[in-house]
Amino acid sequence: MKYLMLLAIMVAGIGAPAHAQVNLDGFIKKNEFNDIKISPDGQYLAATVPLEDRTGLAILRRSDSKVITSFALGKNNHVSDFYWANKERLLVMVAKKFGMLEQPQATGEILVMNVDDKGPTPLVGYRATGGKMGSRVGVGTSQNNVAAIALHGIPGDDRNVIITAAPYSEEEMWTRAERLDIYTGKRTPVARAPIRGSDFYTDNKGVVRFAKGSEFDNASKLFYRENDQAEWKLVNSENDSGRVEYPIGFADDNRIAYLQVEQEKGPDAIVAYDTGSGERKELLRDRFSDPTAIIHQFGGSSSPVGVMYMDGKPHTRFFDPKGREAHLYEMLSSAFPDDSVMVTSTTNDGKIALVSTYSDRDPGSFYLFDAETKKAAYLLSRRSWIDPEKMAKVKPVELTARDGMLMRGYLTLPPGKDGRNLPLVIYPHGGPFGIYDTWGFDTEPQILAAAGYAVLQVNYRGSGNYGRSFHQSGAQQWGLTMQDDLTDATRWAIDQGIADRNRICMYGASYGAYASLMGVAKEPALYKCAAGYVGVYDLVTLSAQESRESKRLNIWTSEWLGSGPVLASVSPNRIADRIKVPVFLAAGGEDETAPIAHSERMEAALKKAGIPVETLYYRTEGHGFYTVEHQREYYTRLLAFLARNLGEGNSK
């Protein structure tokens, strides 16, 4: 009897579905910390702490790692950024998002706290008014009820920062630059906008020198002034030059400004702009990638010295390859050869730097780097329970679309597999415009790879990071050339021998969900199934919804989404009869980005067409599921769906 019981257990173990062997809890568990910054004197560390549907922040004493204070924001409220204004005072910027996948929307609030405070106090935004801290404003006047849409520190000034202020009222479009006293909340205007919706940029003394904005035609204009008494003058108009220019900082002399400049073809360049003579000199330009992060001088200066690029794997380039920061980055990269390395903050004297590392198999860790001894001391990891050796490797790939367009992407292979004849999931990113896939630890491809599936992510046309022309080539191409790019990527994976042509599925979220359903409608013989998570499926409805929002959004809709009869022809729910494979849909009832009605109509259309469709709806979730239990159920259902339609990923 014991032998029979043991045999039954062994057989049950052998027959257990591969997807059931994936440790979902290890993947969906929140990071211990997201971002960490060191105080100017090096005594404290501020760290954001992700919670289920909000973000907390903790301040730790560096000497013993003791938590001095911590707080959590309300439901759907997140710390979008934080800034050490001086050695004792921290400024916190707030954003809201209704769902895990939604892009955070800034609330315009700045909260302030000292290291020994129990929590922050409103300084700017709808919960604060004028210099009276902590009070809640009513409708009030637009002069007091303002949002802070940007913040710039002033090197050497421990009491003031520069903010870009704007009204909450949608009927008003003004912005202005203001000096904000971080102790009293007093705001003093320092610059008026030369154009609607201006963003302001300061030099190293805190003087507002640039303003960038656009009118309702969405054409960017850049203005410059020599000092805070001078008049604005136009130095670039997209309508005339065909390019957009973004200030990223000033050299120490405050004469040379550094601009990120879009090019007619290819990626953006970093240009040194002589504000005296008007001369422009190109300093850096990558072969494929736009700058993804700006590297600043160590210490109290805010001057840019280099750039990080995401061309396949991340890499850095510096204005002066022999400079101090270039040398230290070279040392750090040598110490962490398999990782991407970024200095997130430094002390004012530049002697201690907080270093972030991550890789395709490691969510990331933080180190304290002593610039004098050249030694890095481990601080903590984002997900200490993840074993990088057991995670899947991510390989940058390059392929060509049918019209010759070069595309970059990433292939994630299941651990232990040789990359031949595998079941494949095509995983398009959301957005779609301006968003792009990157090299690094990506939870969903890792879950799929752990279940035995190869995962292909492609930066199709319209994606960000590859220059103006690549971005704009996706305009009005929903379901058209943008979709063809994903089809071509699928065929490339088959031709390379990576994919088993009989075991390929499309799966994505938001726009990625749209592309997945559109993919199986447009190429019914190419895929075995499709899964859509919090997706949009009716472009006619989406266009009407966007057009009602505002005049500016109406222009965006016509320029990027498109209009007219073509929208119906590329709406998956309106051509559901072309779909011939099983579909899995998941959505949240509180989703404001992709309302659940899209999924419900898609479901109804599939049922009417006689197509098998499974659904998972949570009425209390938004654009992506926050709740761990809901995430666990979702991924369990998704993996089971893939296993039924592609076979067990680990079965071969």
- The residue extents of the domains of the chain are 34-192, 392-646
Kindly report the length of the chain. Answer: 652
Cis upstream peptide for 40 (omega within 30°): no
What does the pLDDT read at residue 190? 95
DSSP E strand boundaries for 172-319: 176-181, 187-192, 199-202, 208-214, 220-224, 233-237, 245-250, 256-261, 269-274, 280-285, 291-296, 304-311, 313-318
| CATH of 392-646 among 3.40.309.10, 3.40.50.1820, 3.40.50.2000, 3.40.1500.10 | 3.40.50.1820
Q: Can you give the C-alpha Rg of the chain in angstroms? A: 26
Using DSSP, state whether 469 is helix, strand or coil. helix
10-residue block means of pLDDT along the chain (652 residues)? 32 48 93 94 95 93 92 92 95 92 90 93 79 33 71 92 87 86 94 91 96 86 95 95 94 96 95 96 96 91 93 94 94 94 94 96 96 92 95 97 97 94 98 96 98 98 96 96 98 98 98 98 97 97 71 68 90 97 97 96 98 97 96 98 90 52
- By the 8 A CB rule, do 586 and 612 touch? no
- pLDDT at residue number 305: 97
Q: Any residues with CB less than 8 A from the CB of 4 and at least 6 apart, and which?
A: none
Residue 608 CB neighbour total at 10 angstroms: 10
Q: Is 631 helix (H, G, I), strand (E, B) or coil?
A: helix
Contact present, 570 and 539 (Cβ < 8 Å): yes
The distance of Cα 189 from the centroid of its chain, to the nearest Å, equals: 32
Q: What is the pLDDT of residue 307?
A: 97
CB atoms within 10 A of CB 155: 15
DSSP state of 84: E
Instruction: Identify the residue whose tokens are 């659904």.
Output: 615
pTM of the model: 0.92
Res 169: pLDDT: 73
Q: How far is it, in rounded angstroms, from Cα 609 to Cα 597?
A: 18
User: Considering only CA atoms, which of 58, 57, 62, 60 is closest in space to residue 43?
Assistant: 62
> Hey, what are 511's tokens?
């726009």
